[in-house]
Amino acid sequence: MIYARRSYLLPTIILICLTYSLFSSLPPGARRPHPHANDHAQHPISTSASSSGTQIHWTKHAEHHPIDDYIPLPTTKPSTIPKIQYEFRSESWLARLRRRRRQSAVKQAFQHAWKGYRDNAWLRDELSPLSGRHRETFAGWAATLVDSLDSLVIMGMTKEFEEALEALELIDFSTTHALQINIFETNIRYLGGLLGAHDLTNGKHPILLKKAIEIADMIYGSFDTRNRMPQSRWEWTRSAGGHGIMPSRQTILAELGSLSLEFTRMSQLTHDPKYFDAIQRITDFFEENQEQTKLPGLWPMLVNAQDMEFSDPRFTIGGMADSTYEYLPKEHMLLGAQTTQYRNMYDSFMRALKGRLLFRPMTKDNQDILFAGNVQANVISHSREKLDPQWEHLKCFLGGTIGIGSKVFERPEELSIARKLADGCIWAYDIMPTGIMPEILHLSACRDPEDCHWDESKWHQDVRHRLAKKSSSNNPTQQAESLIETYGLPPGVVDIPDPKYHLRPEAIESVFILYRITGDIKLQDAAWRMFQNIEKMTRTHFAHAAIADVRDVDSPQLDYMESFWLAETLKYFYLIFSDPDVVNLDEYVLNTEAHPFRRPAT
């Protein structure tokens, strides 16, 4: 799976202000960690949402806007979906030994981080990996524990998994001290984590589905609005008190468009149509307007969910938008190709992506790689000159998504695009002194992507244009070289506005998917380089920590470790060195938090 692939934890008013700042400095989206102060107090698992100290619990009231007829799951027989995975041949004993040693190293890193969480932040949302304290970032329902359940299963950590199952009984999803619940994050981390563990263990542990129903029924209350669009930052205490709610006029695209997999799986497992009905209304709204936006085929970063309008002029596949597009081929698979709706939406998306956002950067060794930029569509013209050649770590999901789409939608010519996007992320790792890609960077785009060669003067010109406060007419080359040294810019990079690494999974996600599609061992080798560099730079006494600057081999570490480090990043590193049948992509679909949902039999 974006900025989750992703935490949208800042207060809504701050988000709005930030998102309307310069487009080149977009606020992070779906997986961005919130700059919380460390929570040193030991909160109980369920705490009060009332300033008076009276504990409020979610209880279902009669809906203000009830549904008369639910939209049911498709009832036609599932269609055959083309195979995704490569037909792997048997490996030599030497190759198997090397692969398993690498896998073991990843597992050891996971065990180290899990132990740190278990010993110091058990039943809290996140461990603070430098101080050994904890943070509450997602309503206080033990986010890291729930998010990591299926990782424990995949890695064969049976004892730890059983202990986590026992701890689930202690989590009360009916209450939280938070006044707002982020529906997107709750959906992908909590509901997704419970469903993924349920499907991986073939329903052996009833508590997983029981708790999934608890959390799904609670957040379903956020859909009780006039138009059935959810209030994405849900004022749950209003609903608990029987009061009405409204969706926001400034709803982040990914928060509205990334609920389909989890709610669909809930209807498949419980046979209750209300969950699918809830997300199908969103899908229909998106499909009806996809060709009517300012950039037809794409939806803008912000949605007016209250008036059901797409008037925002800013378009990206990165933070605040990412998983909406990621879910198009994945929902098609989870529904067993019983509808052409997602195929049609994906076709429109790819047409716009290829025509407006993709670009090739200049590299010193003239690599044929691709990235996707941003567009400010209210600038009259549709020419490529309006493209902002910005890339984010969050955008690295795109290679995997297009790789899957090339298979399930039978678009084989686009597999090369997927590989070039994944190779672009590998390149962005390899060029940094730490061997780790930064959060955000700007690149020097080729004038002609079909005939692109290294041009030092163009790179210098782009650097000056981006970073120089005023042009130096005396010696522009010296000015550019000074800026390059000051900002630590590798060849081809013109700016690194955010040099942090947040333990993000998107790059290894696409490398893993492309490996499973192509069987190319070079991708395993790239993954191993990435893992070794990340492990070296992020390991702490307690676990692993984000780092402040990937340009600095002595970069300070930061005192947070989001739950996706265990739920996604280390899981993908582990899976790329696993036997191909472990979480086979022809049997499971992974949500944007890497939780595997079982696909219907055809």
How many residues are recorded in the chain?
602
**Rounded-to-integer distance, Cα 467 and Cα 209, Å:** 52
Nearest to 346 by CA among 394, 298, 295: 298
Tokens of 553: 């081999």
Q: In one letter, which amino acid is 360?
A: R
Choosing from 185, 277, 495, 549, the catalytic residue is 185
**Rounded Cα–Cα distance for residues 246 and 233 (Å):** 10
CB 602 within 8 A of CB 81: yes
Angle between helices 506-518 and 415-430 (to 10 degrees): 130
Could you say which of 312, 322, 568, 593 is catalytic? 322
Residue 243 phi/psi, 5° resolution? -90, 160
CA angle 456, 459, 464 (to 5 degrees): 125
Active site residue 439: yes
| 58 φ/ψ angles, rounded to the nearest 5 degrees | -70, 125
166 is catalytic: no
Q: Which residues are annotated as a binding site for Ca(2+)?
A: 592
CA-CA-CA-CA dihedral for 112, 117, 119, 120, to nearest 10: 130
Q: How far apart are CA 330 and CA 402, in angstroms?
A: 11
Q: Tell me, yes or no, if 554 is annotated catalytic.
A: no
Helix H, strand E, coil C: the string for 490-540 is CCCEEEEEECCECCCCHHHHHHHHHHHHHCCHHHHHHHHHHHHHHHHHHEC
- Nearest C-alpha neighbor of 193 from the set 168, 228, 156: 168
**Which tokens go with 74?**
């498709």
Report the Cα–Cα distance between both ends of the chain, in Å, rounded. Answer: 25
Say which amino acid occupies 166: E
Phi (first) and psi of residue 265, to 5 degrees = -65, -35
What residues have CB less than 8 Å from 507, skipping those under 6 apart? 393, 396, 425, 426, 428, 429, 437, 530
Q: Token digits for 367?
A: 């690599």
* 3-state secondary structure (DSSP) of residue 134: strand
> Which residues sit in the known binding site?
592
CB 434 within 8 A of CB 551: yes
Of residues 331, 423, 439, 495, which has the active-site annotation? 439
Catalytic residue (choose from 262, 331, 506, 549): 506
Active site residue 125: no
579: Cα separation from own chain's centroid: 25
Closest CA to 219 of 235, 207, 206: 235
Sign for the CA dihedral angle at 403, 405, 410, 414 comes to negative
Burial of 112 (0-12, 13-18, 19+ CB in 10 A): middle
Residues in contact with 395: Cβ distance below 8 Å, sequence separation at least 6, in sequence order? 317, 318, 322, 371, 372, 506
Q: How far apart are CA 387 and CA 380, in angstroms?
A: 13
Q: What is the dihedral of CA 295, 297, 299, 304, to 10 degrees?
A: 80
d(CA 26, CA 543): 30
Q: DSSP label at 122?
A: T
Q: Active-site positions?
A: 185, 322, 439, 506
